[in-house]
């Protein structure tokens, strides 16, 4: 079953070269944060390039439920915010669909206001652990009541008299860090978050852009972020750069399909997100960055990817994991077409994403004739080299958009087609994936 109804099997076959321009959607992380911070500012925030996938649309609906006005007119999103501490109590349950980012950030944003909200999501999201966010939010004075194991549906009772918090994030998670910072906005004094391993820093950059007083410094404990509470956030005009996690799919497809040459314009190259591109270059990928520039505090460029027949397996350093955590599924596909083994360590977080992504990729790759080993926080793909990957398998996606897209990309270069049991979840992050890929020349269709 798809997250949105009956299962939608899909099939991908090898065909001609992929060529042209891939206008991938806006960055999902920045899209979520633009809506939430816009709702917490005073005045109108205008957003162009917003990712209009279901995950982000669910966050827009949630911001309306908390009292902000959120409208889309002529391709621009207009958010009239209610100010820090101005959220009203929602009348209905907040359904965050498939989005772990959405639900965790929204919980943080409301946790220091004296309101109560109940959150739910689809079957995948209801399995994901929320305690990692609820535990630090409890330090502010919020209370959470959920299912066994800290799972949705969950009711969060915001703190009437929040206190500032000093919190060391136990696992590398931008979602947890961001939830604590958003909660800190409506707490008095200074909230401090310490992360031992740096994670994507969109929240810090965007909080500063909206006028919050936020200072980051490196200490022996790790990266220390200090936020001064109760600011008046200023509305912004935001041009959302295109999502590097979505760009990964046409880029990686171009690397493994003979004769391909694909340009992906205006890709966000935040160093806390660009680990995949660094890894691919180490593998021998033909990637070039053109027109390097700055978009609203975020580095961006036009990325060109060309067929790379001589890819080599590499060992990805564990400290790079946080900057490419969502890209390991598609990297493992590219690794199948490289010579030698690709070793991925420090990836425990993949076990608790929309699915257990390590287990899902191992099963699908092995069914397609690729040898893979895995452990609690590692995975090794034994590459077969260009032209040698059998394929011919049906991969289970487990309602996970990145698993679905990864195996469809794989099928564009395997000897026999690859099928997936359900492509419905792709709409959560990359609703135009099928049309974009077929526009480049890919043979992807509903089975």
The catalytic site residues sit at 326
The residue assigned the tokens 């059998």 is 390
Asked which of 69-73, 226-230, 294-298 is least confident by mean pLDDT, the reply is 294-298
Q: What percent of the chain stands above pLDDT 70?
A: 99
pLDDT digits (tens, 9 = 90+) for 71-118: 999 999 999 999 999 999 999 999 999 999 999 999 999 999 999 999
In this structure, are residues 248 and 327 in contact, taking their beta carbons and an 8 Å threshold? yes
Q: Is the peptide bond before 153 cis (omega within 30 degrees of 0)?
A: yes
pLDDT at residue 48 is higher than 50: yes
Instruction: Please report the DSSP string for 19-66 in residue order.
Output: EEE--PPBPHHHHHHHHHHHHHBEEEEEEES---SHHHHHHHHHHHHT
**Predicted TM-score (pTM) of this structure:** 0.83
The tokens for 161 are 């008299």
Q: What is the pLDDT of residue 2?
A: 47
Q: What is the pLDDT of residue 413?
A: 98
pLDDT at residue 4 is higher than 60: no
Q: What is the pLDDT of residue 31?
A: 95
Rounded to the nearest 5 degrees, what angle is found at the Cα of 301, between the Cα atoms of 39 and 175? 40
100 by DSSP, 3-state: which?
helix
Task: Name which of 387, 305, 392 is nearest 339 in CA terms.
Answer: 387
Q: What is the pLDDT of residue 5?
A: 62
Q: How confident is the model at residue 352 (pLDDT cuts 50, 70, 90)?
A: confident
Give the mean model confidence (pLDDT) for residues 190-203.
94
The tokens for 441 are 């020349």
Q: What is the pLDDT of residue 294?
A: 79
Q: What is the pLDDT of residue 296?
A: 62
Q: How confident is the model at residue 446 (pLDDT cuts 50, 70, 90)?
A: very high
Task: Name which of 58, 329, 105, 304 is nearest 200 in CA terms.
Answer: 105
Give the mean model confidence (pLDDT) for residues 313-328.
95
Task: Name which of 338, 333, 323, 312 is nearest 270 in CA terms.
Answer: 323
Asked which of 170-174, 246-250, 377-381 is least confident by mean pLDDT, the reply is 170-174
pLDDT at residue 3 is higher than 60: no
Q: What percent of the chain stands above pLDDT 90?
A: 92
Give the mean model confidence (pLDDT) for residues 174-186.
97
What domains can be seen in the chain, in order of their start residue?
10-26+241-446 (3.65.10.10), 28-232 (3.65.10.10)
Q: What is the mean pLDDT of the chain?
A: 95
| Strand extents, DSSP E, 247-377 | 261-268, 286-295, 298-306, 315-316, 339-345, 371-375
d(CA 272, CA 253): 23
């Amino acid at each position: 079953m798809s997250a949105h109804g009956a299962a939608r099997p899909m099939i991908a076959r090898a065909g001609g070269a992929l060529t042209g321009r891939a206008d991938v959607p806006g960055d999902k992380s920045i899209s979520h944060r633009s809506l939430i911070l816009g709702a917490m500012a005073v005045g109108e925030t205008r957003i162009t390039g917003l990712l209009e996938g279901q995950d982000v649309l669910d966050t827009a609906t949630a911001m309306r439920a908390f009292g902000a006005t959120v409208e889309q007119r002529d391709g621009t999103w207009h958010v009239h915010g209610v100010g820090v501490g101005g959220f009203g109590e929602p009348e209905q349950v907040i359904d965050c669909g498939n989005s772990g980012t959405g639900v965790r950030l929204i919980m943080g944003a409301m946790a220091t206001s004296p309101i109560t909200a109940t959150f739910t999501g689809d079957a995948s999201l209801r399995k994901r652990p929320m305690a990692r966010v609820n535990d630090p939010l409890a330090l502010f004075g919020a209370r959470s009541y959920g299912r066994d194991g800290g799972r949705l549906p969950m009711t969060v009772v915001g703190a009437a008299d929040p206190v500032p918090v000093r919190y060391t994030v136990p696992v590398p998670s931008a979602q947890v860090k961001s939830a604590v910072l958003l909660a800190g906005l409506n707490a008095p004094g200074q909230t401090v978050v310490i992360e031992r391993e740096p994670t994507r820093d969109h929240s810090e950059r965007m909080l500063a852009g909206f006028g919050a007083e936020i200072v980051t410094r490196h200490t022996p404990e790790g990266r220390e972020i200090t936020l001064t509470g109760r600011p008046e956030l200023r509305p912004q005009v935001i041009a959302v750069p295109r999502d590097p996690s979505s760009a990964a799919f046409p880029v990686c497809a171009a690397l493994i399909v003979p004769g391909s040459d694909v340009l992906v314009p205006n890709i966000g190259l935040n160093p806390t997100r660009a680990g995949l591109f660094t890894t691919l270059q180490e593998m021998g990928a033909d990637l070039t960055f053109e027109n390097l520039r700055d978009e609203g505090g975020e580095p961006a460029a036009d990325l060109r990817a060309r067929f790379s027949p001589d890819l080599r397996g590499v060992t990805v350093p564990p400290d790079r994991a946080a900057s490419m955590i969502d890209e390991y599924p598609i990297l493992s596909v590219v690794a199948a077409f490289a010579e030698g083994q690709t070793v991925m360590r420090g990836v425990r977080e993949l076990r608790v994403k929309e699915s257990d992504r390590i287990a899902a990729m191992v099963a699908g790759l092995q069914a397609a004739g690729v040898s893979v080993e895995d452990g609690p926080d590692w995975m090794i793909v034994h590459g077969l080299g260009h032209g040698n990957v059998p394929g011919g398998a049906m991969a289970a996606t487990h309602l996970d958009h990145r698993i679905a897209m990864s195996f469809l990309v794989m099928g564009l270069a395997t000897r026999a087609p690859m099928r997936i049991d359900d492509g419905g979840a792709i709409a959560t992050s990359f609703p135009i994936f099928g049309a974009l890929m077929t526009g480049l020349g890919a043979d992807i269709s509903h089975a």
